[in-house]
Amino acid sequence: MIKKIILILIFSLIGVFILGALSYKGKFSNFDEAFLFIEGNQDIFISVDEYKKTLRLLEKWEWGDKFTPEDEKFRIISIEGYECVKIWSSQPRALLNSTHPLKEFSDENSLVYSSQNFSTYNCMENLNLDNFDGEFYLYGQPFFYDERWWLYKPFEPSKKLISFVCSSDCGTHWQAFAKPEPILKSDPIYQEK
């Protein structure tokens, strides 16, 4: 008797899940909206103190002279076992899984901090500046949040789920998708006040 009740409950839950999922089929006509529905995280909101600390760093972080990159501040950073070198090209761009937290403090029309962002670093596991062959990009400007420095790192979204909730003519031009990733605490960026 108890087994039958448990089986009925399990099948009922599966049925409710399937019906719920089917109600989202083709709901979005825009890939970006479908992506944010499936992969989106809640936006990160930084405090005024975190914003001020981020601004102090960004004043030093700005790109220097293209011909003397070795003089740049934060030219190389470390993230998840990789060393990343600041790059001079803003290509490629990525669709972020949340709005960049600096958007809250920027001009409403600024695309710099939207959910689309430009590449700022190119990373490789065993950094060799003489024979550099980056493995992936990081996106956006660094920001301070929850006692850590962050950038956006690429990830592979659930394209099957996105396609499921997106209408049949829903395509994308995005080649990269990124989500927040903390910069390693051993990185010199943490010595900034």
Tokens of residue 11, six digits: 């099948």
pLDDT at 149: 94
pLDDT at 15: 47
**pLDDT digit string (tens) for 37-71?**
999 887 889 999 999 999 898 888 876 666 666 66
- Torsional sign, CA 10, 41, 150, 119: positive
**How far, in Å, CA of 97 to CA of 87, rounded?**
22
**Cα-Cα-Cα-Cα dihedral of 57, 62, 47, 150, to 10°?**
-80
Q: What percent of the chain has pLDDT over 90?
A: 19
- Would you say 94 and 154 are in contact if contact means Cβ atoms under 8 Å apart? yes
Q: What are the helix and strand counts (H, E) for the chain?
A: 4, 7
Mean model confidence pLDDT for the chain? 79
pLDDT at 171: 78
**How far, in Å, CA of 74 to CA of 50, rounded?**
18
Question: For the whole prediction, is pTM greater than 0.85?
Answer: no
In whole angstroms, what separates CA 185 from the centre of its chain?
Answer: 19
Is the pLDDT assigned to residue 19 strictly greater than 50?
no
**How far, in Å, CA of 178 to CA of 184, rounded?**
17
